[in-house]
Amino acid sequence: MLTLEELHPFTIMLYFVAVTGIAMFCNYPYLLISSLIGAVLYFIIRNGKKHLRHHIFSVILFLILTAVNPLVSHNGVTVLFVLNDNPVTLEALLYGANASVMVLAVLYWLNSFSQVMTSEKILCIFGTVSPKISLLISMTLRFVPLLNRQCQKVSDTQKILGYYQSDNIIDSIKEKGRVLNIVVTWALENGIITANSMTARGFGSNRRTSFSIHHIRKEDKIVMMIIIILSAVTILSVSRNMMEISFYPEIHTAEHRGLYFAGLSAYAGLAILPSVLQAEASLRWKYLQSKI
């Protein structure tokens, strides 16, 4: 079996739409925890341990988002303590933690999506339907890392020229503003050059044709069928209110039935699907190496 990255772009898009869409529109804690575990596991398998700062930032973001909700929302019947004459309730704290898990899960999935779905794959999906939209999406995704690299280049150049030597906050803000001004000017000039170049090459003068090296294979059909089945079971469970929870005024969950466990297991399987594909490909590669 191929890894998720090696599958057809439509299969990749279908997976991320399913796993992210369900996590965004269902606030059930166990489902969101499954989504976060699957997202973090796939991120670690793809990137290793070199992105430690990313995980630290995620933990800090989780703590901040969790703490903000009980400070602004005082609903709930279980009062933990009183802060400035405002009650901090357990229900508000758990609601904030639940929402934080959802945000982190979606961010991790989108991070992996940006790594797996290259601009060429996006062009493959939307090229035949709307070439202009696909080109716009591809250029936008390319422009973000390009802007970051240019900003780093300008910042390094400013340091070589002797800036950033003052510890004054005001001077530091002015220096950052100078870098931003240079990068924005560069971006505008680069956009004009790109537009003139596309016009000179005849862009928009006739209907565009598209070519793709990607073809739907047997592995794509198998994975798409797995994604559709697991997503359908999960959506059916959610639509039947099997995964319904209310935090206010007190925590209350729906009655657990057979469809509840089926939906939860289906989404857990959907969340770890790319990790399973990656692990299977790695084990198969090691096995083939051992046969040499």
Give the closest residue to 267 by CA, choosing from 12, 7, 3, 29.
Answer: 29
Q: Are residues 27 and 104 in the same domain?
A: yes
Residue 217 counted as domain residue: no
> pTM of this prediction?
0.74
Q: Per residue in 106-149, pLDDT tens?
A: 999 988 888 888 777 877 777 666 667 767 776 776 777 788 88
Give the closest residue to 97 by CA, choosing from 57, 142, 65.
Answer: 65
Residue 162 counted as domain residue: yes
Q: Are residues 115 and 79 in the same domain?
A: yes
- Give the span between the Cα atoms of 33 and 257, in whole angstroms: 20
**pLDDT value, residue 208:** 61
Contact 43, 129 (CB under 8 A): no
Q: Are residues 33 and 166 in the same domain?
A: no
Q: Are residues 10 and 115 in the same domain?
A: yes
- Give the span between the Cα atoms of 59 and 54, in whole angstroms: 9
**pLDDT value, residue 91:** 85
Residue 60 counted as domain residue: yes
Q: Are residues 37 and 85 in the same domain?
A: yes
Q: Are residues 118 and 235 in the same domain?
A: yes
Residue owning tokens 């009650």: 87
Sign of the dihedral defined by the CA atoms of residues 103, 107, 110, 116, in that order? negative
Q: Are residues 18 and 116 in the same domain?
A: yes
Residue 218 counted as domain residue: no
Domain boundary among 155, 179, 200: 200
Q: Report the number of distinct structural domains present in the chain.
A: 2
DSSP assignment of 167-209: --HHHHHHHHHHHHHHHHHHHHHHHHHHHHHHHHTTTTSS---
Q: Are residues 195 and 245 in the same domain?
A: no
Collect the ranges in the chain with pLDDT lower than 70. 1, 49-50, 127-131, 134, 138, 141, 164-167, 203-212, 255
Q: Are residues 65 and 146 in the same domain?
A: no
Find the domain containing 104 and state its range: 4-123+231-290
Q: Are residues 136 and 260 in the same domain?
A: no
Beta strands in 231-276 (DSSP E): 245-246, 252-253
**pLDDT value, residue 105:** 94
Q: Are residues 193 and 250 in the same domain?
A: no
Inter-axis angle of helices 9-25 and 218-239, nearest 10: 10
Q: Are residues 116 and 153 in the same domain?
A: no
Give the closest residue to 124 by CA, choosing from 214, 51, 257.
Answer: 214
